[in-house]
C-alpha cells in the first residue's frame, strides 16, 4: 500500500476525483446513522430482560438481613450491592458506596463537594485555582463536568500504556493540580489498558496537593472483547502500599452491563474518603434506589455472575469491533493518514488522523447522513489542537449499518487527507 502522504500533486488530484466520486455514491444512499455515543444495542439490552420481570416478589422485597428495600434507609446502598461492586472493583464491600443509576453523577457529586466543602477536611476548592490533569484523548463528559466547575484542564498525552507518567509526575508537583481523570481499563476512547508500570507510578505519585485525587473510572472493567483479557493492576492496593490510598477514588457502573441509565453505580475508596463521602450523602438524599439494587443482585448473584453475563455481551460486540478494525486496516492501512489500536475491550475505537482533518471528516460524514462524536470532543474544552482524533462507537448499530458507516468513514478520512495534502 502506498502512503498517500508520499503522492505527487498530480497523483493526489486523481485520488481526490476518485474519492469524491466514491463519497458521492455513498452519500446518495441516504444513510441515517448515529455513531455518536457508546450506546449498547437492542440485542445487548435484551440480555437483561429478566430485570424487567418479577425478580422481586412482594412477599420478599428484602435483603439477606431482612431490610425492606421499599423503604427508607441504607444511604450507602444494600450490603449485597456493595459486595457485588466490591467483587468487580476488587475492593472490600465496606469501602464501597452503592449509589444511583449514574457513576458520572457520583463523579460530579464528588467534584461538587470538593468545590463547595473540600475533601477530608481540606479547604474547599471554590476560590482556589484548581487544575486537573486530563489524559488525551479522553472521555468528553469528564472534561465537561470539570469545565462546569471552572477547573482548569491540562492535557497529558496517552500512549498504549496509559498517560505519559513523566508529564503526570512533573505537573503534579504544582499544588494547584488536584486530580487526574483516568479510564484505566479500555480507556475511553483509545481502548488501551493501563500497564502495571503506569499504575505503579500513579500509586506512588507524589502530588504536591494534599487533596489530590485520582478519579479512577472503571467504566469498562469487565467489558472484555477476548477470552484472555489483559489484567489491570489494582491501583488502590498499590497506593496503599505507599500510604497514598486516600488519593484514589474508584467508580463503576452497570450502565453497559444491564441497562444504560437504569443500572447501578458505585464508588470505592479509602475508609477516610468513604466516611467523608457518607457525610455528604446524609445531607443530600434519602438514599439510593434499593429496589433496583436488589433486582440487580438477584439477577447476577455476585461479581462472577456479572463476568459470566459479560461473555454474552462479548459474543455480540466482538464481531462489531472486528469489522471496524478489519475495515480500517483494509481501507486505511499503510496509507500514512490514520492510526488506531484494535482494543481488547471497552466501547470505542480511537482513530488518529492526519492533523487538520478530523473536523472535516465529521462534516463529510454528516453531510452523507451519519452523526459521529464531534471532532475535539476527546480533548478538554472540545479543542483538539491537532484536529486529528476521532472516536468510533461501534456498539449500537447492527453489523450491516456498521459496515455502511465504516465504508463512509474510511472514504471520508481519505478524501479529507487528500484535500489537506493538496491545500495545506
Q: Name the site residues for a second copy (rule: CB under 8 A).
A: 37, 39-40, 42, 45-46, 48-49, 51-58, 61, 68-73, 100-102, 104-105, 108, 112, 115-117, 124, 126-127, 141, 144-145, 147-149, 255, 259-262, 280, 282-292
Could you tell me the smallest distance in angstroms from the CB atom of residue 412 to a second copy? 25
State the nearest-atom distance from the C-beta of 320 to a second copy, in Å.
16
What's the rounded Cα separation, in Å, for the pair 104 and 140? 11
Q: Which is nearer to a second copy, 103 or 389 (CB)?
A: 103
DSSP annotation of 341 reads: -
CA 389, CA 378: separation in Å to the nearest integer?
Answer: 7
Q: Strand 213-217 to strand 248-253: parallel, antiparallel, or no bridges (unpaired)?
A: parallel
Least distance in angstroms from the C-beta of 48 to a second copy: 8
Smaller CB separation from a second copy, 231 or 286: 286
Between residues 69 and 354, which has the closer beta carbon with respect to a second copy? Answer: 69
Of 104 and 353, which CB lies nearer to a second copy in the complex structure?
A: 104
Q: Which is nearer to a second copy, 54 or 231 (CB)?
A: 54
Residue pair 268/235 in contact (Cβ under 8 Å)? The answer is no
In the complex, what is the shortest distance from the CB of residue 277 to a second copy, in angstroms, rounded to a whole number?
13
Our CB check for a second copy shows the closer of 61 and 175 to be 61
β-bridge partners, 224: 345
Q: Which is nearer to a second copy, 284 or 339 (CB)?
A: 284
Min dist. Cβ of residue 261 to a second copy (A): 5
Contact 188, 138 (CB under 8 A): yes
Answer yes or no: are the C-beta atoms of 390 and 351 closer than 8 Å: yes
CA distance 399 to 366: 20
Distance CA 357, CA 295 (A): 47
Residue that the C-alpha cell 486537573 belongs to: 132
Q: Closest distance between a second copy and the C-beta of residue 10, in Å?
A: 48
Cβ–Cβ under 8 Å, residues 252 and 221: yes
Category of 26 on φ-ψ map: left (φ > 0), alpha (ψ -120 to 50) or beta = alpha
Helix (H, G, I), strand (E, B) or coil at 370: strand
Nearest distance, CB of residue 287 and a second copy, angstroms:
5
Amino acid at each position: 500500500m502506498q502512503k498517500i502522504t508520499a503522492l505527487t500533486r498530480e497523483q493526489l488530484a486523481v485520488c481526490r476525483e476518485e474519492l469524491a466520486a466514491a463519497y458521492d455514491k455513498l452519500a446518495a444512499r441516504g444513510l441515517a446513522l448515529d455513531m455518536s455515543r457508546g450506546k449498547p444495542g437492542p440485542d445487548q439490552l435484551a440480555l437483561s430482560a429478566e430485570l424487567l420481570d418479577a425478580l422481586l416478589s412482594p412477599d420478599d422485597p428484602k435483603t439477606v438481613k431482612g431490610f425492606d428495600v421499599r423503604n427508607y434507609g441504607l444511604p450507602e446502598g444494600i450490603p449485597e450491592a456493595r459486595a457485588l461492586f466490591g467483587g468487580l472493583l476488587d475492593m472490600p464491600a465496606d469501602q464501597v458506596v452503592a449509589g444511583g443509576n449514574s457513576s458520572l453523577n457520583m463523579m460530579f457529586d464528588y467534584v461538587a463537594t470538593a468545590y463547595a466543602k473540600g475533601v477530608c477536611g481540606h479547604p474547599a476548592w471554590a476560590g482556589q485555582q484548581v487544575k486537573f490533569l486530563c489524559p488525551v484523548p479522553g472521555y468528553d463528559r469528564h472534561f465537561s463536568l470539570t469545565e462546569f466547575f471552572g477547573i482548569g484542564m491540562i492535557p497529558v498525552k496517552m500512549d498504549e500504556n496509559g498517560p505519559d507518567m513523566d508529564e503526570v509526575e512533573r505537573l503534579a508537583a504544582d499544588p494547584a493540580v488536584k486530580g487526574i481523570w483516568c479510564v484505566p481499563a479500555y480507556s475511553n476512547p483509545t481502548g488501551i489498558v493501563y500497564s502495571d508500570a503506569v499504575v505503579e507510578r500513579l500509586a506512588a505519585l507524589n502530588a504536591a496537593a494534599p487533596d489530590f485525587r485520582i478519579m479512577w473510572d472503571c467504566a469498562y472493567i469487565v467489558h472484555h472483547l477476548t477470552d484472555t483479557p489483559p489484567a489491570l493492576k489494582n491501583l488502590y492496593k498499590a497506593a496503599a502500599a505507599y500510604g497514598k490510598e486516600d488519593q484514589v477514588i474508584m467508580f463503576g457502573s452497570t450502565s453497559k452491563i444491564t441497562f444504560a441509565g437504569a443500572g447501578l453505580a458505585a464508588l470505592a475508596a479509602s475508609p477516610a474518603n468513604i466516611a467523608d463521602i457518607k457525610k455528604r450523602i446524609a445531607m443530600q438524599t434519602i438514599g439510593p434506589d434499593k429496589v433496583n439494587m436488589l433486582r440487580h443482585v438477584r439477577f447476577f448473584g455476585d461479581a462472577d455472575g456479572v463476568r459470566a453475563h459479560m461473555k454474552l455481551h462479548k459474543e455480540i460486540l466482538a464481531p462489531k469491533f472486528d469489522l471496524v478494525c478489519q475495515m480500517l486496516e483494509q481501507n486505511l492501512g499503510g496509507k500514512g493518514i490514520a492510526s488506531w489500536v484494535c482494543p481488547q475491550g471497552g466501547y470505542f475505537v480511537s482513530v488518529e488522523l492526519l492533523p487538520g482533518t478530523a473536523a472535516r471528516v465529521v462534516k463529510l460524514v454528516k453531510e452523507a447522513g451519519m452523526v459521529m462524536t464531534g471532532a475535539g470532543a476527546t480533548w478538554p474544552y472540545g479543542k483538539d489542537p491537532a484536529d486529528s482524533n476521532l472516536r468510533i462507537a461501534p456498539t449500537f448499530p447492527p453489523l450491516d449499518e456498521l459496515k455502511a458507516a465504516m465504508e463512509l468513514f474510511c472514504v471520508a478520512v481519505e478524501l479529507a487527507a487528500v484535500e489537506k495534502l493538496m491545500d495545506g
